[in-house]
Amino acid sequence: MRGELTVGLLGAGMIAAVHACAYRESPGVRLLAVADPVPGKAKRLADQYGAKVVPDLDELLELGVDVVDVCTPPTTHAAATIAALEAGRHVLCEKPITRTLDEARRVVAAARTAPGLLSIGQVARYAPDHRLAYDLAVSGEIGEVRLLSHSTTTSLPGWSEAGWLADPVASGGPLLDQAVHSFDYARRVIGSPAVRVHCMAADSGAGPATYTLTTVRYENGAIAHVECSWAHPASRGFKLRAEVVGTQGRLSWDYDHLTGGVLHPHEGDVEWWDVLGDREFTEELRAFFDAVRAGGPPPVPAEEGLASLRTALAALESARTGRTIDLTSWEAS
């Protein structure tokens, strides 16, 4: 496909604003319209980019956009993604692919028969440090990967519309909303499907199971340790630590020292920002638009989004029951 690609943005919240900004780094891509049910929200975002405001997905599709970018809460992903695919559009859907496994299976089925491309927003793959570590690991630089450790710790995100992130039923808590990035990255670097999951979680002021430690065994024998928390103090900012250990070496990086910035104002809260991390969305969207133009394959196929969701859901189930989940036979209830 040549020429301009037009995008309809579904949702005008936090991540929609990041995507809208990142489109500017993809030549030949234009944000055509934004839809959000909260009065005024779509207009605030659309006005910055000279885009139209429409009431909902049906109207986005009516406009004839080439791409629908689903930036809404996970409980809405399946219906929106399937409707856009069935209307013949390309879809980028934010992570997690859906809230439930059943929904994810329906999305996978829709993507297999749709003319358009579907890619899932597992953006950690595109962070510059994560990409470099992946490239080194798969090139054999550290031998065979045996252990991956990935830790993301922060406070309960405060921005979500009507507080959906704080509602474990809507968001699945940090395991589904945040650790799904770690599970996705670990499986990709280790290069083998997850087969066993064990998770322990502690409650905190941020909600139930908001401090979590998960171990994952992969089919090839490697293991991963994923720490994920929304129970850390807000003044500390978002922290990431990662380590990949192979038979011949070790890679490690962290956001305390490499990409974090901090502002200490005379009054008010300390503010943290992530410098390199901002580039990951630009890369993610560019890879998606390039894939659309090339006619595929999608950078993150729905099947991979489903696999990452399944590990996260199994971790939730393990935390709830105290059992180790055997993913070779597990069906989410």
Binding flag, residue 159, ligand NAD (CB under 6 A): yes
CB closer to ligand NAD, 72 vs 81: 72
If one asks whether residue 72 binds ligand NAD (CB under 6 A), the answer comes out as yes
- Which position among 29, 36, 118, 194 is part of the footprint of ligand NAD (CB under 6 A)? 36
Output the CA torsion sign for 316, 321, 324, 325: negative
Q: Indicate whether 9 belongs to the interface with ligand NAD (CB under 6 A).
A: no
**Residue number of the CB atom closest to ligand NAD:** 13
Cα 75 → chain centroid: 14
Question: Could you give the CA distance from residue 277 to residue 126 in angstroms, rounded to a whole number?
Answer: 9
Which residue number, 195 or 212, has a Cβ lying nearer to ligand NAD?
212
Left (φ > 0), alpha (ψ -120 to 50) or beta: where does 223 sit? beta
Nearest to 152 by CA among 225, 92, 87: 225
> From residue 92 to residue 111, what is the string marking binding to ligand NAD with x (rule CB under 6 A)?
--xx----------------
* Three-class secondary structure assignment of 284-328: HHHHHHHHHHHCCCCCCCHHHHHHHHHHHHHHHHHHHHCCCEECC
**DSSP string computed for 120-161:** EE-GGGGSHHHHHHHHHHHTTTTSSEEEEEEEEE-BPP--SG
Question: Alpha-carbon distance 65 to 22, whole Å?
Answer: 18
Cβ proximity to ligand NAD: between 173 and 246 the closer is: 173
Binding of ligand NAD at residue 76 (CB under 6 A)? Answer: yes
Say whether residue 83 binds ligand NAD (CB under 6 A): no
| Min dist. Cβ of residue 331 to ligand NAD (A) | 24
Near ligand NAD by CB under 6 A: residue from 28, 37, 143, 261: 37
DSSP one-letter string for 22-45: HHTTSTTEEEEEEE-SSTTHHHHH
Contact 269, 234 (CB under 8 A): yes
Q: Is 41 in the site for ligand NAD (CB under 6 A)?
A: yes
Residue 146 Cβ, how far from ligand NAD at the closest point, in Å?
27
When the beta carbons of 52 and 146 are compared against ligand NAD, the nearer one is 52
* Nearest CA-CA partner of 274 in 256, 291, 292, 252: 256
Which of 5, 29, 101, 121 is in the footprint of ligand NAD by CB under 6 A? Answer: 121
- Provide the mask over 174-213, with x wherever binding to ligand NAD is found by CB under 6 A and - wherever it is not: ---x------------------------------------
- Binding residues (CB under 6 A) for ligand NAD: these are 10-16, 35-38, 41, 71-74, 76, 94-95, 121, 123, 159-161, 164, 177
